[in-house]
Amino acid sequence: MAALADYGTYVWMAYGVCALLLVAEVLAVRARARRAERVRDGGAGEDVR
């Protein structure tokens, strides 16, 4: 097993971009969920008849 630092720029850039995108998605989803909780009683919403 090589040392983790020897894996090279491309490997760590790939893992870094992946982590960044997933964290951004989780934060965006949580923000949307909180926003939706706040506004759920604020309007008429969709006609569900």
Partner 1 sequence: MAGTSINWFRYASPASFFSLAGPLARAFGIAAALLALAGLWIGLVVAPTDAQQGEAYRIIFIHVPAAWMSMFIYVVMAFWCAMSLVFNARLAAMTAQALAPSGAVFTVIALVTGSLWGKPTWGTYWAWDARMTSELILLFLYFGFMALRNAIDDPRRADRACAVLALVGAVNVPVIYFSVKWWNTLHQGASVSLTTAPRMAAIMLAGMLVMTLAAWSYSIAVTLVRLRAIINERERGAPWRRAVAQ
CA distance 12 to 4: 9
Minimum Å gap between C-beta 16 and partner 1 is 10
Cα 22–chain centre separation: 4
Minimum Å gap between C-beta 49 and partner 1 is 10
Residues interacting with partner 1, by CB under 8 A? 1-2, 4, 6-8, 10-11, 13-15, 17-18, 21-22, 25-26, 28-30, 32-33, 35-37, 39-46, 48
Minimum Å gap between C-beta 24 and partner 1 is 8
